[in-house]
């Protein structure tokens, strides 16, 4: 590996097993308060806050460290309106489809529908794109690896940062969502993966009871020791 150059890294302070356990318990309590909301207030959120959250997302690991993601942060009202209108066209097609009865039934306890007011009302939208391939300065292309997995990890970092900052978000994945590439003026190498609507909850914001039910650890964990 002729290009491999190992360097030392800034290690975190060493913690005892008791301290580590205490931290994980505390983090769990913090994340049990995470909720997906659809009712946002118009309370201002600074551009710096959004940029900092995206910086955190950009520290995520990725295949060959190619970092195959791009984030478009939008507060412009006109652009948010365009995204809402385009998303609702696709959503109306989805909800009127007779071939998705099982999926629609699964969504009933969540209370979703084709109206996506939150896309316009939330102070910020972040559109997350996956870069299917990279482009060098000379215009030549190079392959990115484990793109979906890498962008998924970065998206998790981003949602975690948003939550720990005291904000709320909603993940929206209209299908198809190629309209986002056009509205956000991204190259064809960029494939939109999701929209995050971000903000503070409205005073009378509600969440569906069904969304608060999480599987117990026994159903999601197998420990082999």
Domains by residue range for the chain, with CATH: 36-203 (3.40.109.10)
Within 10 angstroms of residue 99's Cβ, the number of other Cβ atoms is: 7
Radius of gyration of the chain (CA): 20
Task: Round to whole Å and give the CA distance between 4 and 19.
Answer: 35
Within 10 angstroms of residue 158's Cβ, the number of other Cβ atoms is: 25
Given a contact cutoff of 8 angstroms between Cβ atoms, the answer to whether 124 and 74 are in contact is: yes
Burial annotation 33-58 (CB, 10 A radius, 16+ → b, else e): eeeebbbbbeeebeeebbeebbebbe
Over residues 179-220, the pLDDT tens digits come to 999 999 999 999 999 999 999 999 999 999 999 999 999 999
Given a contact cutoff of 8 angstroms between Cβ atoms, the answer to whether 94 and 114 are in contact is: yes
Over residues 98-151, the pLDDT tens digits come to 666 788 888 889 988 899 999 999 999 999 999 999 988 898 999 999 999 999
**What tokens appear for 103 in the block?**
């999926």
Q: In this predicted structure, what is the pLDDT of residue 95?
A: 84
Please name which of 80, 82, 155 lies closest in space to residue 118, comparing C-alpha atoms: 80
Over residues 88-109, the pLDDT tens digits come to 999 998 888 766 678 888 888 9
Query: Could you tell me the pTM of the whole model?
Result: 0.94
Q: Tell the burial category of 1 from Cβ atoms under 10 Å away from its Cβ (0-12, 13-18, 19+).
A: exposed
Please name which of 50, 113, 105, 122 lies closest in space to residue 87, comparing C-alpha atoms: 113
């Amino acid at each position: 590996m002729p290009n491999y150059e190992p360097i030392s890294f800034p290690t975190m302070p060493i913690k005892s097993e008791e301290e580590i356990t205490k931290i994980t318990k505390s983090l769990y309590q913090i994340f049990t308060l995470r909720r997906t909301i659809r009712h946002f207030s118009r309370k201002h959120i600074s551009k710096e806050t959004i940029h900092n959250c995206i910086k955190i997302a950009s520290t995520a690991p990725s295949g060959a460290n190619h970092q195959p993601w791009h984030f478009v942060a939008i507060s412009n009202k006109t652009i948010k309106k365009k995204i809402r209108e385009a998303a609702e066209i696709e959503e109306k097609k989805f909800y009127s489809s007779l071939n998705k009865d099982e999926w629609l039934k699964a969504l009933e306890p969540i209370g979703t529908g084709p109206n996506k007011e939150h896309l316009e009302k939330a102070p910020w939208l972040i559109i997350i794109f996956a870069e299917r391939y990279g482009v060098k300065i000379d215009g030549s292309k190079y392959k990115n690896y484990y793109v979906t997995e890498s962008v998924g990890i970065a998206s998790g970092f981003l949602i975690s940062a948003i939550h720990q900052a005291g904000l709320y978000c909603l993940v929206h994945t209209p299908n198809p969502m190629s309209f986002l590439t056009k509205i956000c003026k991204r190259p064809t190498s960029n494939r939109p993966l999701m929209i995050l609507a971000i903000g503070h909850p409205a005073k009378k914001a509600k969440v569906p009871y069904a969304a608060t039910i999480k599987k117990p650890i026994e159903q999601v964990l197998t420990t082999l020791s």
